[in-house]
Amino acid sequence: MNSQRHDSLKENNWVQLKEPGDIFSAIVASLPLMILNLMLTIAIFAVVQQPVTLADFGIVQDGFQINIDLRIIVGFLILLIFHELLHLILVPDFVSSKKTYAGITPLGGFVYSEEEIQRSRYLMITIAPFLIISVIIPLVLGVLGILSQPLKILILLNSMASSVDLLTFILIL
């Protein structure tokens, strides 16, 4: 953390967000939200007549089956990029900003900005990928009857991964 910048912000009545110190603490703190997100997305699947079954996860009557599907692996990488792009495009003037960054690490993607962003806008930036990918897209695809099993898995992964975003959203409220 840049201590001069931090002191400058405090002098201008900015309040530091109280958040977990590292990604592992954030994930642990967000576990209840992960379960809540998962339940909400499963409920949405049920509403559009596309319930999640044990077979979707390889659990069949005769045992447990694991298939490594290249489409899911590639889909996950595309999902990760799409999720972070949704955060990024909502940052005001992100294209011309010299203080906004995006990237991918072994633990996931990130968008980081030192731009001044209104609280309401920041809340929207934080929650948008969850709402779009795990709520709106399954509703639309389910109504159209094109919500496939691989898409359901990817949407559920996004729903669970969005728990840290939801934790941030709650801390900012």
pLDDT at 153 over 90: yes
The pair of three-digit structure tokens given for residue 29, joined into one six-digit string: 């703190």
pLDDT tens for 125-142 read: 999 999 999 999 999 999
pLDDT at 53 over 80: yes
pLDDT at 8 over 70: yes
Could you tell me the pTM of the whole model? 0.88
Residues in Cβ contact with 67 at an 8 Å cutoff, skipping those fewer than 6 apart = 58
What values do phi and psi take at 100, rounded to 5? Answer: -125, 130
Domain ranges in the chain are 22-172
pLDDT at 20: 76
